[in-house]
Amino acid sequence: MSVRDSLLENLGGDLEYHPRRAALYLVIAAATICFWIFSPPEDKYRYVPLVFALGGLALLVKGILLLRKSSEGIGLSEKDISNLSGAYKRKNLPPLPSQAGQILQDFGTGPLLLWPLLKLGSDANNSVNNPVPFQILVTGATLFALGWLMRRMTSQPEA
């Protein structure tokens, strides 16, 4: 598997319909975005609140994507569709260490990928101080790597 395929599988391989995980992501996203919203106005554009805002935004997007229905039911009869939604087909949450690593990795994706938005924000609002984008990028990369490492160390060996 190439590095590109591995990265795409790591970032988007778990985007399947899973309402319980989506609810978990949306609650954590709301909490992290609230950290930014309720920070004092003079601190909103400092290092830590910006990391929380960008990470919360990434978790919000992932939560919304986990809520979308997949195309599993296309072309099935009504009986087959009702069997798909039965209790025996429900997906369980992954083990807690693996889930924590995935959430940390997805949280780190926000500062890692969305840091260029900070330049747009500072151009639109002249009262914004220098938002230290390089430090935010490094923090995002570090959180992403820590989440990846946690997932790697807690993954089940393939048979």
Q: What is the pLDDT of residues 135-150, one digit of tens each?
A: 888 999 999 999 989 9
Domain ranges of the chain: 17-68+97-154
pLDDT bin (cut points 50, 70, 90) of residue 128 is low
Confidence at residue 152, expressed as pLDDT on a 0 to 100 scale: 86
Confidence at residue 94, expressed as pLDDT on a 0 to 100 scale: 75
Q: 43: helix, coil or strand?
A: helix
Query: Do 59 and 29 meet the contact criterion of CB atoms below 8 Å apart?
Result: yes
The answer to whether the pTM exceeds 0.85 is: no
Query: Do 99 and 154 meet the contact criterion of CB atoms below 8 Å apart?
Result: no
pLDDT bin (cut points 50, 70, 90) of residue 27 is very high
* More reliable by pLDDT, 93 or 37: 37
- Which structure tokens are listed for 19? 């309402």
pLDDT at 65 over 70: yes
Q: What is the mean pLDDT of the chain?
A: 78
- Which structure tokens are listed for 102? 């995935």
DSSP assignments along 103-158, one per residue: HHHHHHHHHHHHTTHHHHHHHH-TT-----HHHHHHHHHHHHHHHHHHHHHHSPPP
Cα separation, 32 vs 26, whole angstroms:
10
* More reliable by pLDDT, 129 or 51: 51
pLDDT bin (cut points 50, 70, 90) of residue 52 is very high
